[in-house]
Amino acid sequence: MNYLEKANLWKENPNLDLALRKELEAMDDKALQEAFTTDLEFGTGGLRGILGAGTNRMNIYIVSKATLGFGRYLSQFKDAHKRGVAIAHDNRHQSKEFARISAEVLTTLGFHVYLFEELRPTPELSFAVRHFGCVGGIMITASHNPKEYNGYKIYDESGCQLVPKDADQVIAEIHKITDYFAIDHSKNHEEIESIGRAVDEVYMKEVKKIILRPNLKKNFKLVYTPLHGTGQVFAPEVLKSVGYDVYPLACQMTNDPDFSGVKTSNPENKEAYDEAIAYAKEIGAPIVLATDPDADRLGIAVEHNGEYVLFTGNQTAALVLDYILKTRKEFNTLPKDGYVFTTNVSSTLPIAIAEKYGMKVEITLTGFKFIGEKAREMESGKGTYIFGFEESYGCLISDCVRDKDSIQAILMLCETAAYYFEQGMDLVDALHQVYEEYGFYKEGITNFNLSGLDGAAKIQRVMNFFRTNDIALKSFKILAKDDIKLSVHTDFATGQKTAILLPASNVIKYYLNDTMWFVLRPSGTEPKLKVYYGVVGQTLEEADAKLKQLADEVLAIVNTIE
């Protein structure tokens, strides 16, 4: 069925949502192609797409179809209907509606549903799944994407996002549904149980157990912004409850789906901090904390020599991990069977730190579901979960949650800051101390924004070029290559090929001399091709120069591909 035929099916439906019908009737041919040529697919973060009419858009019909498929998948598990499903949502347009219709589809199938009454952070949804003993969970969010987007994440009984082998079963169920306009969501609404503050209290109590040094002086100010998102529910409350002097940025502490008080909702972008840094300067706060709209990721800006320095996710993870391991060793609470988890596009500095303290390290694909899966493996006695992180500003300290958790990250980052302030150091000083010990690790990323059908085709051409051609760099020696889609590792010195024991994924990683590397990876949640780089230098200046040179040489190749 082509895009026009699919569009006509929508137009001919007499019960089509009136707002979607109005949008549909205003579409030109190009818009119809974009909205109907393909179907919205599950990526590393589940469903995520632009709101609107069409099979390639987020709307009540796509959400209902996904929920029906997910519900049928969950029904195979013992006592699934009785155990139920937990559902939460963020502050975006239609998030509350999508959460409600998901609940109704599930109750019609016979499930009990625990539905958060108002917006809540993603990590709390993960926690709630296990707290209530649910068979699964749903989070309605598009994380840090622009306001035009919304999304849909699904969780298993352990509070972990579904890994590919399980998500594939859900997708198979979704594909069996041919008429998503006829999906019933009219029955058993009395099985929707509204939840909220009582779960918050249990979650916050559990999260505060990660605190290692409760008696540190907390005589410094913090500015906090949720970027209009779910962190506003209780991030400031958690900080105040343990003694921190926190100043929420009022203009961004509102439930605003248009994100009108901030230039960007992504804490990876420096513009997200402009208003918060101005406020921090005004009140004399040395640290700015920013969580993304679903509050699973934390970004920070730190005052150093009169200027506010933004940390990357890699830098924050390295600093916090070093503090945790150092402190637990001092307190003799560091287990001999401890594990640290990271991803194949993240900094290798935390690996060096973990290995110094005798921790085992495992590397996964991008997507915190893979780290959540590793945390679940620890329950079988394999080892003790210590820390997990990925470069995109997400980490997890206590596996009471099985997803990234900015509330945990905030508590541990502030404790780390308090520890170093007592020694007369700020967090920039502390990070440089880590560099002096382990080497000056620097990472970078280039995002190619390639939206629409043309963009998707360009991404495919770039990946195919690197997959099928031998490349060379002027200033760096390529030692090996991982083609994770083909599950093949190639050692160029010997020509030997070995199997990669990771799920197949459209990712290519190159290993260079002196433990440097770069990766090409299409985003699973945005219309982007991402190129990641990692270098190590003997000084910060050398690392910066290497990073620029590596990026320039890789991008020169990418830019030759039409």
Catalytic center residues? 143
Going by the DSSP 8-state scheme, the letter that residue 145 receives in this structure is: S
Tell me the two tokens of residue 274. 């402009």
Distance between CA 549 and CA 552 in Å, rounded? 5
Element (H, E) at 298: strand 298-304
Distance between CA 147 and CA 172 in Å, rounded? 30
- Which DSSP string corresponds to 217-271? ---SEEEEE-TTSGGGGTHHHHHHHTT-EEEE-GGGSS--TT-TTSS-S-TTSGG
Residue type (1 letter), 201: E
CA angle centred on 543, ends 508 and 144, rounded to 5°:
55
Q: In Å, how far are 470, 472, 476, 497 from 494, measured between CA atoms?
A: 15, 17, 18, 9
Q: Is 464 exposed, middle or buried (0-12, 13-18, 19+ CB in 10 A)?
A: exposed
Beta strands in 382-451 (DSSP E): 384-390, 394-396, 440-449
Q: Is 535 exposed, middle or buried (0-12, 13-18, 19+ CB in 10 A)?
A: buried
| Exposure b/e, 326-362, CB count within 10 A at least 16 = b | bbbeeeeebeeebbbbbbbbbbbbbbbbbeebebbbe
Distance between CA 464 and CA 481 in Å, rounded? 14
Q: Is 10 exposed, middle or buried (0-12, 13-18, 19+ CB in 10 A)?
A: buried
Give residue 249's Cα distance to chain centre. Answer: 23
Distance between CA 408 and CA 427 in Å, rounded? 18
Count the Cβ atoms, other than its own, within 10 Å of residue 509: 19
Distance between CA 481 and CA 488 in Å, rounded? 8
Tell me the two tokens of residue 344. 């194949």
Residue type (1 letter), 433: Q
Tell me the two tokens of residue 252. 């961004």
- Which residues pair with residue 247 across a beta bridge? 223
